[in-house]
Structure 1
Amino acid sequence: MNLNNVHNIYFIGIGGIGMSALARYFHANNKQVVGYDKTQTAITNSLVDLGVEIHFEDSIDNIKTEYQNPENTLVVYTPAVPKNHKELNYFKNNGFKVLKRSQVLGLITENTFCLAVAGTHGKTTTTSILGHLMNECDVSVTAFLGGISENYNSNLIMNGTEVSVVEADEFDRSFLTLSPDLACITSMDADHLDIYGTASELKKTFEDFSRKIKPNGKLFVRNGLPLKGITYGIEDDSDYSIHNIKIENGTYVFDVKTPKIVLENLQFNLPGRHNLSNALIALAMAVEYGCPHQQLAKALASYKGVKRRFTYHIKTNSFVFIDDYAHHPEEINAVHQAVREMYPNKKVLAIFQPHLYSRTQDFVDDFAKSLSQFDELMLLDIYPARELPIEGVTSSWLLNKINNKNKQLVSKTELLSKIHESNAQVILTIGAGDIGEEVKHIKKEFSIAS
């Protein structure tokens, strides 16, 4: 399909983080962009501010005449949209070209030099670091991010079209639509078992992805993963490795050994060894692409992070409030490691909203273990997203498995008062559901208190 021949782009689920990046891209390329989403959010508001028309009721009456011509209209949808969606079925039944978000991303990037970031954890941060590095090195790059970059206040970086940087999402096997020149795999922990069934099937799909790399392309893998490629790791003998780590005024200072030289005294401002690992692989891919070392060092030091990835909302000597998107046990472990490293002598309260009944069921014992590490824990009800309830799978069930004397189940309406009852100096909100909507309320309440 030639996207140059398409004039109208109709998004179903336009408020999704990946969908909205595509909407921004097409709008910037002078396409007519409209869309549907079920709820109004900060993301949909930002698209409306650009001039994108969005509605929030699923009705074929909302499909204007100019979008009823299959010849010049492309329909893009997310797999999270239910199969009985009226607008989606109208387009499918009337001869329109209807593609998943991942398929459109594959079309956009197929004629570019593509750098793809895959893995069950770390994709969004690594992609945003890599996009920032390439942009700061004056590469003609478009980067599609799975989160809102703090540097650009956007999930799209546009500085040309020769190179693309993309988040290669394993959900629904989406990343198999890509054919990257350089790709990395950050992790292969079991996840999305509602899609894959078994961890071995997930691993097999990552192997399939590694075979999608173009001839003469390169695969980077975190040291220890069961795939062959250029390795990276922290304080080990990988092809790219970090050594001599110090923390100075809340900033990591370290050296990076590459296959050819050692880059000394690099600086990076995001806490946590997992973020150091993300920075390392982004740096390695940029080095292999050919970015100048001096510019890379400066760019790495200026990287500010991704919203809802260990994002500070209050940071004083007496009180700290951090929000993070972590929704898998390994991600919670990484957040715990980071907060302990930065605040070793302070009491930490974690407020967690489980995401998906299936994920909670599949990893309940691992969730219990990771959440038991915090000094105090508050658990919200499970956020269902695209799922119907599973009998017996509740936050109460998870809470009973957690080995922590200071644990309780709380509702959103009582959340602020329960936090006031705590004497924790560090507050964490964690989860991929709508817990992010509570952040502004907590920030407002405790900015005054602190």
Structure 2
Amino acid sequence: MNIKGKEIKTAYFIGIKGVGMTMLAQFLAESGVSVSGSDNPENFMTTKVLQKEKIGVLAPFAVKNIPSKVDLIVYSSAYNAENNVELKHLLAKKFKPLLLIYAVALGEIFSQYDGLAVCGSHGKTTVSAWLGYVLYKGGLSPNVLVGAAVPQFKGNILKGRSRCFVAETDEYQNKLQYFFPQGVLLNNIDYDHPDFFKTEKDYVKVFAEFIKKIPSQGFLVFNADDKIVLKVSADCRGQKISYALHNKGADYRATDLSVKNGRQYFSVWEQGKNLGRWSILLSGEHNVYNSLAVIATAKKLGMNFFDIKKTVLSFTGTERRLQFLGKYQGALIIDDYAHHPTEIRATLAGVRTMYAESNIITVFHPHTFTRTKALLGGFSQSFNDTNELILLDIYGSAREKQGGVSSLDLLQKIKKNSPNLKISHIPTLEQVTEYLKAKVTKNDLVLLMGAGDVFRIGENLLKK
């Protein structure tokens, strides 16, 4: 593999356990590069993927970890010379290997293919994995990089033989600036990451600038029900392909949604032509939108509707997206990554529809102080579809360990909006685990929700 004019035979990752870093490390390993890395000693959700790929991980961070001979070093944006001894050592050296931050490294690889960027505030992981799976089953041999493990893949990625490269691309810290796509899937734009984007205008601008980079021979697949997406799509120079549930002018539409026997059913229309009833295994209206994005893109890339319909149905999802972990005392334990008010509402609505008879106990782990504070009003109106809500203490990121808001502030806001909701604040994962052990019965559904390590509650409950 060649990056920035240099042949890469060996690569070392600083902060390799991050989901994006694991994704890229696995892709390089599958491409024949010898890969190793370093991180903190704790187990992460990516640990099993790295072990399965036989990628060596050294812990903790230390200068002695750095290989004496290595072609490429990739480092996570969570680290810098002030908080990481390995980076501090490397940046002080006069002669060093090719040293790239994660987003730049991924962008360099992406540019060597016919890159298809999946972006937007919500649904990136599901759409990337779903599209990759459909294209793979359709014989297109795509390269696919997803920010979560996919049970129907080998870890987070698919290494294909074609020039097609599907990548989940993240707007945070304006990582989109490093990508030059042939095609873009844009699912939605909904203000997030207030620690980096100080205003909604700043946030939208990143997507608007990204859409302008699509070449005239490229294409944009976009959600025409999202008013902000509809506005920024006007600046696309390439072909525009729209999908919607409500906008009757969209190229692809889904109508007459229903749920039966654990599946969602809906009619699909292409430019006014009825393509019949389709079904998917994933719950929630948001996943109907996700499926339309996949259907429209797969058709654009040459697949026929018969094969698309068959493979869209058989996709089972990704880890940490409504992932069934098991049963405890007869109760269903489900884990989900939702950490934004819109995601929480969509996920809970889907769970309520799919499990109408269950007593839903939601355990929410607020993620970062800045997000919780900036979106406090939205969070307070997001839990109407749960029977009980447990709030953990806020999960701080590597960049912030405390802030001007607490879970008790959120609790008071939710109580004001939903006075009849049973809600409690239980600070730690261990305390919540003990609470659930004493409480749950076979009629309960425990939904673990958040972008941090709330999934560990499920692991602890299901330990044999």
Aligned counterpart for 2:422 among listed residues 406, 428, 439: 406
Moved more, 420-429 or 324-333: 420-429
Paired position in structure 2 for 1:80? 78
Q: Shift in Å at residue 439 of structure 1?
A: 1.4
Aligned counterpart for 1:24 among listed residues 3, 6, 26: 26
- Alpha-carbon displacement from aligned partner over 1:143-175 (angstroms, at most 9, x marks no partner): 000111121251101222411001111011112
Paired position in structure 2 for 1:441? 460
1:232 correspondence with 2:243: yes
Aligned counterpart for 1:14 among listed residues 10, 13, 16: 16
1:178 correspondence with 2:189: no
Contact 1:36 1:56 in 2 (8 A): yes
Q: Shift in Å at residue 255 of structure 1?
A: 2.2
Please report the TM-score for the alignment, with normalisation by the length of structure 1. Answer: 0.92
Q: Shift in Å at residue 312 of structure 1?
A: 1.7
- Alpha-carbon displacement from aligned partner over 1:310-358 (angstroms, at most 9, x marks no partner): 1123479963322100000110001111012112343211100011111
Distance 1:292 1:357 in 2: 46
Distance 1:300 1:426 in 2: 27
Distance 1:233 1:49 in 2: 39
Report the CA distance shift for 1:391/1:205 in structure 2 as closer, same or farther (over 3 A): closer
User: Counterpart amino acid of 2:85?
Assistant: K
Contact 2:73 2:100 in 1 (8 A): yes
Please report the TM-score for the alignment, with normalisation by the length of structure 2. Answer: 0.89
Aligned counterpart for 2:36 among listed residues 29, 34, 37: 34
Report the CA distance shift for 1:391/1:305 in structure 2 as closer, same or farther (over 3 A): closer
Contact 2:243 2:252 in 1 (8 A): yes
Aligned counterpart for 2:451 among listed residues 432, 439, 443: 432
- Alpha-carbon displacement from aligned partner over 1:61-114 (angstroms, at most 9, x marks no partner): 1223223xxxxx211112112442111122233243221222122221213222
Distance 2:352 2:45 in 1: 31
Q: Which runs of 5+ in 2 are unaligned?
A: 234-239
1:47 correspondence with 2:50: yes
Aligned counterpart for 1:274 among listed residues 266, 282, 286: 286
User: Counterpart amino acid of 1:74?
Assistant: L
Paired position in structure 2 for 1:100? 101
User: Counterpart amino acid of 2:67?
Assistant: K
1:204 correspondence with 2:200: no
Q: How many equivalent residue pairs? A: 440
Paired position in structure 2 for 1:90? 89
Report the CA distance shift for 1:125/1:106 in structure 2 as closer, same or farther (over 3 A): same
Contact 2:125 2:147 in 1 (8 A): yes
- Alpha-carbon displacement from aligned partner over 1:177-231 (angstroms, at most 9, x marks no partner): 1111111211111101111111111001110110121231111221133223432
- Alpha-carbon displacement from aligned partner over 1:356-414 (angstroms, at most 9, x marks no partner): 11111111121111135422111111111213344441111211211244111113222
User: Counterpart amino acid of 2:91?
Assistant: K
| RMSD of aligned residue pairs (Cα, Å) | 2.1
Contact 2:352 2:385 in 1 (8 A): no
Distance 1:139 1:118 in 2: 21
SS at match of 2:297: helix
Contact 2:430 2:457 in 1 (8 A): no
Q: Shift in Å at residue 4 of structure 1?
A: 5.9
Paired position in structure 2 for 1:109? 110
Aligned counterpart for 2:346 among listed residues 320, 334, 337: 334
1:417 correspondence with 2:434: yes
Contact 1:102 1:174 in 2 (8 A): yes
Q: Shift in Å at residue 57 of structure 1?
A: 1.7
Distance 1:6 1:308 in 2: 32
Contact 2:72 2:98 in 1 (8 A): yes
Residues 138-177 of structure 1 mapped to structure 2, 5 A cutoff: 138-177=139-178
User: Counterpart amino acid of 2:58?
Assistant: H
SS at match of 1:187: coil
Paired position in structure 2 for 1:70? none
Contact 2:176 2:206 in 1 (8 A): no
- Percent of matched pairs sharing the same residue: 28
User: Counterpart amino acid of 1:429?
Assistant: L
Distance 1:17 1:97 in 2: 22
Distance 1:83 1:130 in 2: 38
Report the CA distance shift for 1:3/1:352 in structure 2 as closer, same or farther (over 3 A): farther
Paired position in structure 1 for 2:379? 367
Distance 1:79 1:191 in 2: 18
SS at match of 1:339: helix
Q: Which runs of 5+ in 1 are unaligned?
A: 68-72, 446-450
Report the CA distance shift for 1:319/1:236 in structure 2 as closer, same or farther (over 3 A): farther
Distance 1:90 1:241 in 2: 54
Report the CA distance shift for 1:197/1:336 in structure 2 as closer, same or farther (over 3 A): same
